[in-house]
Amino acid sequence: MKFDLHCHTKEGSIDSKVSIERYVRLLKEKGFDGFMITDHNSYKGCRAWDRISKNPEFADFTVLKGVEYDTKDAGHILVVMPDNLYLRILNVRGMTLRRLLKIVHRFGGILGPAHPFGVRSSSAMHFRKMNMDLIERFDFIETFNTCESTTANELSQQLADKYHLTAFGGSDAHEEKYVGMAETVFDSVITCNNDLIHAVKAGHPTYVKGMVREMTTKSKRKEHWTGVWGFKLYNRGLAKLISPYRKYHHMKMPFRS
């Protein structure tokens, strides 16, 4: 089964121009069996899918529900929780990676770094606190992201090989022209989040490939030192501002990490 495992929807990401229904139609045309919603710190796209998923038109297509979480100290992390489990704390950016690992694994989910060698402001391997202990606790690694360079993707694949972690590939699409530019092929049947979690934990092999996008002006701005530090200040500042809200949801959980 062929999936695009990194997609941002119009319903859940303010910078996406592609609706969930449009994703389904575009990817079906390209021969995909499904895709994964990975909006930043939001399940709005996933809930939007819940409202239309019974449409007969979508019966033979799988939509997986994930989150691209903005951590305090390790950039963007893709998180997949068991079916119908939407943890409210994942809607509030700014947790440390260690705490995120504890919470996700305690509730039976899986997680891994998005574009680990990509944009310096949001990619795990550019953060000083990343170490072998933390990498070994990941369940998968995004080894191909169409936004990143060939070198960055090759380094990500080498990291996955070194730690024997499942490879994911995704388009990281926010616009129609990028939808389906990366694919992850599973040798097992994936019809829901639980199937995906089982396949990853069981070590089922994946085949990942795709096409790297052209370098855009926006990409160059992100890599410039002003873009890197601008995003870090924004991310950390916002995380600090909403920390009481995050602590509230953490205290409401049935355990404390």
Number of domains in the chain: 1
Residue 133 lies inside a defined structural domain of this protein: yes
Residue 29 lies inside a defined structural domain of this protein: yes
Q: Is the pLDDT of residue 63 over 70?
A: yes
Mean pLDDT of 65-82: 96
pLDDT of residue 29: 95
Name the β-bridge partners of 186. 206
Mean pLDDT of 67-78: 95
Domain coverage including residue 237: 2-252
Confidence of residue 257 (pLDDT cuts 50, 70, 90): very low
Range from 23-32, 128-137, 247-256 that averages highest in pLDDT: 23-32
Residue 257 lies inside a defined structural domain of this protein: no
State the amino acid at position 76 in one-letter form. H
Residue 183 lies inside a defined structural domain of this protein: yes
| CA max distance for the chain | 49
Structure tokens at 227: 């873009």
Confidence of residue 243 (pLDDT cuts 50, 70, 90): confident
Contact 143, 208 (CB under 8 A): yes
Query: Residue 230 sits in a domain of what CATH number?
Result: 3.20.20.140
Using DSSP's 3-state secondary structure scheme, residue 9 falls into: coil
Q: Quick one: which of 53, 60, 64 has its CA closest to 21?
A: 53
> Do the bridges between strand 76-80 and strand 110-113 make them parallel or antiparallel, or are there none, so unpaired?
antiparallel
Whether the model clears a pTM of 0.85, i.e. scores above it, the answer is yes
| Strand ordering across the sheet containing 76-80 | 110-113, 76-80, 62-70, 34-40, 2-7, 182-186, 206-210
Mean pLDDT of 176-182: 95
| Alpha helices (H) along the chain | 20-29, 44-52, 97-106, 132-136, 150-163, 193-201, 217-223, 225-241, 243-252
Q: Quick one: which of 119, 145, 90 has its CA closest to 218?
A: 119
Residue 203 lies inside a defined structural domain of this protein: yes
Confidence of residue 238 (pLDDT cuts 50, 70, 90): confident
Mean pLDDT of 106-131: 93
Residue 229 lies inside a defined structural domain of this protein: yes
Torsion of Cα atoms, 223 then 147 then 14 then 243, to 10°: -60
Q: Is the pLDDT of residue 18 over 50?
A: yes
Residue 217 lies inside a defined structural domain of this protein: yes
